[in-house]
């Protein structure tokens, strides 16, 4: 498997040989920042195009096909449209908080995005408390959403923000339970080690029944966490116009749009990392030739393949089920998913302690 | 190095929002209209304040969330070592779990989880 840290350490050595170390580190950080931005923008554009096409297929439509071949230039058209729309200044808003909200939302999703291990040695933020860090930064986003709803001084945004807050914090518990189950099984919180743990089999195959339950619960809760699918209560467009971002226009709205799609990718990426083996290739014990061929496929291809597969599952869920009511939504979390999560945790402890796994 | 990268990521996020916002500001047209500054309320003027009281139910869920979220924070360090501790780990955390599940059952029985 190709180790990307060879490249990064080569760049570091090259830069330190021609300039002082402080400047070298500064330049590297600049490169990392540009890479994060580029990946963030490209993935968001791909996801928006993918969602439009997949949604169209699910509804027996063709989807965007006017701009460019297969509507591929639609991506750029969307971005340009977003950029050249007027940003409307409202009269009665809390100006500071109104401007601050997009910063918090984007900050939370970029920090979570930087945690994903894309290839061997290609993780940007790889803390030894990675899982806790991820949970912490992704729950920062809810503050941005509440601020956006509150500061707009409109009833639609207010209701949207309250619903969104209740929903996101509730479903975060289930996500925490699933990550906890994984942490118990792997015995580490660092993403690179979690991936390395799955070298001889992905967690979903290795982890017995509790891992499968955790995966399913994680997908459901993840869909709710990103305010999508059957759980799009906060922005139920037929009742609340656009929920918490009703009063945002142009690029200001674009930030919420961007972070919504990226959050979906983060949910999918984390699912791919902790359940489907991250950048680990598919290995079937006993088939040496097959395993050797699989090793030739680079790690980031595996990672993005798995992540986009999970994204497809999430989109499938979104376009298949009908929207829930707020009481059903909270009931579903607190009376069904959370008890299942707790039970699954106990099951996972038993599996690990009595070594019932493969 | 990790913390330098963390700061880089934070600054990147701020730079993205700041730059995109100002690019949009420079590119986009601007026109003034007194109606434009009003909040959106289906075309009719806003009645009453929007910063008002809201359901207490949201607070209840927030408090319950707090309990369980702090619980996950307590459980994470334990989760890392459960493999080495073995059966002792189960016994030591069993009481913690019983209290938690008891708390959830109590909230359930009291009707805090019902939205009516």
Interface of A with B in 309-328 (CB under 8 A): 326-327
Q: Quick one: pLDDT at residue A350?
A: 81
Q: Which residue has the tokens 């998913």?
A: A337
Q: Quick one: pLDDT at residue B116?
A: 67
Dihedral angle sign, alpha carbons of residues B75, B78, B82, B86: negative
Q: How far apart are CA A336 and CA A333, in angstroms?
A: 6
What token pair was written down for A209? 């029944």
Q: Which residues of chain A are within 8 Å of residue B102 when distances are taken between CB atoms?
A: none
CA distances from A274 to A206, A269, A353, B67 (A): 12, 9, 20, 25
Residue A296 at interface with chain B, using a CB cutoff of 8 Å: no
From the list B21, B62, B80, the residue facing A183 with the nearest CB is: B80
The Cα of B22 is separated from the nearest Cα of chain A by a number of Å equal to: 9
What are the tens digits of pLDDT across the range A225-275?
887 777 776 666 666 677 777 778 778 888 888 888 888 899 999 998 888
What are the tens digits of pLDDT across the range A201-226?
777 777 778 888 888 889 888 888 88
Q: Which residues of chain B are within 8 Å of residue A187 when distances are taken between CB atoms?
A: 79-84
A147 touches A160 (CB < 8 A): no
Q: Is the pLDDT of residue B74 over 70?
A: yes
From the list A111, A126, A180, the residue facing B75 with the nearest CB is: A180
- Please give the DSSP secondary-structure letter assigned to residue A337: I
Higher pLDDT, B49 or A211: A211
Domain ranges of chain A: 85-353
Q: Quick one: pLDDT at residue B42?
A: 67
Q: How far apart are CA A253 and CA A82, in angstroms?
A: 8
Instruction: Spell out, as residue ranges, where chain A has pLDDT lower than 70.
Output: 1, 233-240, 356-358
Residue A4 at interface with chain B, using a CB cutoff of 8 Å: no
Q: Quick one: pLDDT at residue A155?
A: 78
Q: Which residue has the tokens 């925490």?
A: A176
Interface of A with B in 33-92 (CB under 8 A): 33, 36-37, 40, 82-92
Which residue, A234, A241, A215, is CA-closest to A348? A215
Q: How confident is the model at residue B43 (pLDDT cuts 50, 70, 90)?
A: low
- How confident is the model over B17-42, as a mean pLDDT? 79
pTM of the model: 0.88
Q: Is the pLDDT of residue B24 over 80?
A: yes
The Cα of A110 is separated from the nearest Cα of chain B by a number of Å equal to: 6
Residue B64 at interface with chain A, using a CB cutoff of 8 Å: yes
Q: How far apart are CA B83 and CA A22, in angstroms?
A: 42
The complex's ipTM works out to 0.83
Subunit contact A162:B55, Cβ cutoff 8 A:
yes
B12 touches A135 (CB < 8 A): no
CA distances from A348 to A214, A342, A345, A355, B75 (A): 10, 10, 5, 10, 13
The phi and psi torsions of A22 (rounded to 5 degrees) equal -60, -45
Q: Which residue has the tokens 């490249």?
A: A7
Q: Quick one: pLDDT at residue A114?
A: 87
Q: How far apart are CA A180 and CA A346, in angstroms?
A: 11
The Cα of A15 is separated from the nearest Cα of chain B by a number of Å equal to: 16
Residue B105 at interface with chain A, using a CB cutoff of 8 Å: no
Q: Which residues of chain B are within 8 Å of residue A126 when distances are taken between CB atoms?
A: 2
Subunit contact B20:A177, Cβ cutoff 8 A:
no
- Residues near B116 by beta carbon (within 8 Å), at least 6 away in sequence: A327
Q: Quick one: pLDDT at residue A286?
A: 73
Subunit contact B38:A91, Cβ cutoff 8 A:
yes
Subunit contact A184:B79, Cβ cutoff 8 A:
yes
Q: Quick one: pLDDT at residue A184?
A: 86
The Cα of A229 is separated from the nearest Cα of chain B by a number of Å equal to: 21
Q: How far apart are CA A230 and CA A320, in angstroms?
A: 8
How wide is the angle at C-alpha A164 spanned by C-alphas B76 and A268, nearest 5°?
A: 55
Residue B30 at interface with chain A, using a CB cutoff of 8 Å: yes
Q: How confident is the model at residue B111 (pLDDT cuts 50, 70, 90)?
A: confident
Q: Is A353 helix (H, G, I), strand (E, B) or coil?
A: helix
Q: Quick one: pLDDT at residue A238?
A: 64
């Amino acid at each position: 498997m190709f180790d990307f840290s060879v490249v990064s350490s080569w760049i570091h050595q090259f830069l330190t040989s021609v300039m002082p170390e402080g400047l070298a580190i500064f330049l590297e950080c600049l490169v990392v920042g540009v890479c994060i931005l580029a990946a963030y923008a490209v993935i968001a554009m791909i996801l928006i195009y993918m969602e439009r096409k997949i949604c169209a297929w699910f509804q027996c439509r063709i989807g965007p096909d006017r701009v460019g071949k297969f509507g591929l230039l639609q991506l750029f058209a969307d971005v340009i449209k977003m950029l050249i729309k007027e940003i409307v200044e409202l009269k009665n808003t809390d100006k500071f908080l109104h401007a601050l909200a997009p910063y918090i939302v984007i900050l939370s999703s970029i920090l979570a995005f930087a945690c994903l291990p894309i290839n061997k040695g290609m993780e940007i933020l790889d803390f030894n408390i990675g899982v806790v860090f991820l949970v912490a930064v992704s729950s920062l986003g809810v503050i941005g959403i509440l601020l956006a709803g509150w500061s707009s001084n409109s009833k639609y945004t207010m209701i949207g923000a309250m619903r969104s807050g209740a929903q996101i914090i509730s479903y975060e518990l289930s996500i925490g339970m699933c990550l906890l189950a994984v942490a118990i099984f792997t015995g580490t919180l660092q993403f690179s080690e979690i991936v390395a743990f799955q070298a001889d089999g992905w967690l979903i195959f290795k982890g017995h029944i509790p891992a499968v339950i955790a995966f399913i619960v994680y997908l459901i809760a993840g869909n709710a966490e990103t305010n999508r699918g059957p759980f799009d209560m906060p922005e139920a467009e037929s009742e609340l116009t656009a929920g918490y971002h009703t009063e945002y226009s142009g690029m200001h709205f674009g930030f919420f749009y961007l972070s919504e799609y990226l959050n979906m990718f983060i949910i999918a990426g984390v699912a791919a990392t902790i359940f489907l083996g991250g950048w680990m290739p598919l290995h079937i014990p006993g088939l040496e030739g097959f395993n050797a061929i699989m090793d030739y496929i680079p790690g980031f291809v595996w990672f993005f393949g798995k992540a986009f597969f999970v994204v497809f599952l999430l989109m499938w869920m979104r376009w298949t089920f009908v929207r829930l009511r707020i009481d059903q939504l909270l009931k579903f979390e607190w009376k069904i998913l959370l008890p299942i999560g707790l039970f699954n945790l106990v099951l996972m402890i038993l599996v690990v302690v009595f070594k019932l796994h493969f | 190095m990790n913390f330098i990268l963390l700061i880089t990521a934070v600054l990147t996020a701020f730079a993205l929002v700041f730059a995109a916002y100002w690019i949009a500001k420079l590119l986009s047209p601007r026109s003034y209209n007194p109606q434009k500054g009003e909040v959106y309320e289906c075309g009719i003027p806003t009645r009453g304040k929007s910063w008002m009281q809201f359901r207490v139910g949201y607070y209840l869920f927030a408090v319950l969330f707090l309990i369980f979220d702090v619980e996950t924070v307590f459980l994470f360090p334990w989760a890392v070592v459960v493999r080495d501790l073995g059966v002792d780990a189960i016994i030591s955390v069993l009481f913690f779990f019983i209290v938690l599940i008891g708390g959830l059952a109590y909230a359930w029985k009291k009707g805090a989880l019902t939205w009516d």
